[in-house]
């Protein structure tokens, strides 16, 4: 694909739901600033079936907490994906999309992409909106998803994937204790 610098791509998962507010804020992000090459907002995992599986709901509340806490902080103040990025509700400038692409063997291609962008000096901004997604349907699916994430983060080159794993584990223990 040969995208232009004026093109933007909004990456979504197949179950992602966006509304008019989200689309408007993505357009505003693209048109009203020129300092960021990719943007991300909050994802809530309550598109449907919320509280059907209590364990899964609690596990994904942690993900929304991450968006509102560590991702918001890193994207707003450091403008780099210190803690990673989501592959969904990820808004990328065409120039960046062309330069890096998605041709990788990584199990966590979103985090890999973020590190590549960071290494090339691209900046990450925050989109003030939300998208909604569906949590995994079963505890087994949740475990497989998390296993893929941790395996993928541990295989990333450099320290950032390992630090993200450590941070995730420590914050989960801390949240449980509190």
Q: Which domains does the chain have, with CATH numbers?
A: 8-177 (3.90.550.10)
Q: At 23, list the tokens.
A: 């689309």
Best-predicted range by mean pLDDT (32-36, 49-53, 116-120): 116-120
Q: Count of CB atoms within 10 A of residue 155's CB? A: 14
Residue 169 pLDDT exceeds 90: no
Residue 77 pLDDT exceeds 70: yes
d(CA 20, CA 28): 12
What integer is the mean pLDDT of 50-55?
82
Alpha helix locations (H) across 67-158? 72-73, 94-100, 109-119, 139-155
Residue 30 pLDDT exceeds 90: yes
Q: How confident is the model at residue 174 (pLDDT cuts 50, 70, 90)?
A: low
Under 8 Å between Cβ of 106 and 158: no
Collect all residues with Cβ–Cβ distance below 8 Å to 152 and sequence separation of at least 6. Answer: 106, 107, 108, 111, 161
User: What does the pLDDT read at residue 178?
Assistant: 47
Q: How confident is the model at residue 35 (pLDDT cuts 50, 70, 90)?
A: very high
Reported residue count of the chain is 178
| Burial category of 111 from C-beta neighbours within 10 Å (exposed 0-12, middle 13-18, buried 19 and up) | buried
Q: Indicate the SS3 state at residue 156.
A: coil
C-alpha distance from residue 134 to each of 39, 41, 53, 113, 126 (Å): 21, 16, 12, 23, 22
Select from 150, 136, 71, 74 the least CA-distant residue to 108: 150
Q: How confident is the model at residue 6 (pLDDT cuts 50, 70, 90)?
A: very high
């Amino acid at each position: 694909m040969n995208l232009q610098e004026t093109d933007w791509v909004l990456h979504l998962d197949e179950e992602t739901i966006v509304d008019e507010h989200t689309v408007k804020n993505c357009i505003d992000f693209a048109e009203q600033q020129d300092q960021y090459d990719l943007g991300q907002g909050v994802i809530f995992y309550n598109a449907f079936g919320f509280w059907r599986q209590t364990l899964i709901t609690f596990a994904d509340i942690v993900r929304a907490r991450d968006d509102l806490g560590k991702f918001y902080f890193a994207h707003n103040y450091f403008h780099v994906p210190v803690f990673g990025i989501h592959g969904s509700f990820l808004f990328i400038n065409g120039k960046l999309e062309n330069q890096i692409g998605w041709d990788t063997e990584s199990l966590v291609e979103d985090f890999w992409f973020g590190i590549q962008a960071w290494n090339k000096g691209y900046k990450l901004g925050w989109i003030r909106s939300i998208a909604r997604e569906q949590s995994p349907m079963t505890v087994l699916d949740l475990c497989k998803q998390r296993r893929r994430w941790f395996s993928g983060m541990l295989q990333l080159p450099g320290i950032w994937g390992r630090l993200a794993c450590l941070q995730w584990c420590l914050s989960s223990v801390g949240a449980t204790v509190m």
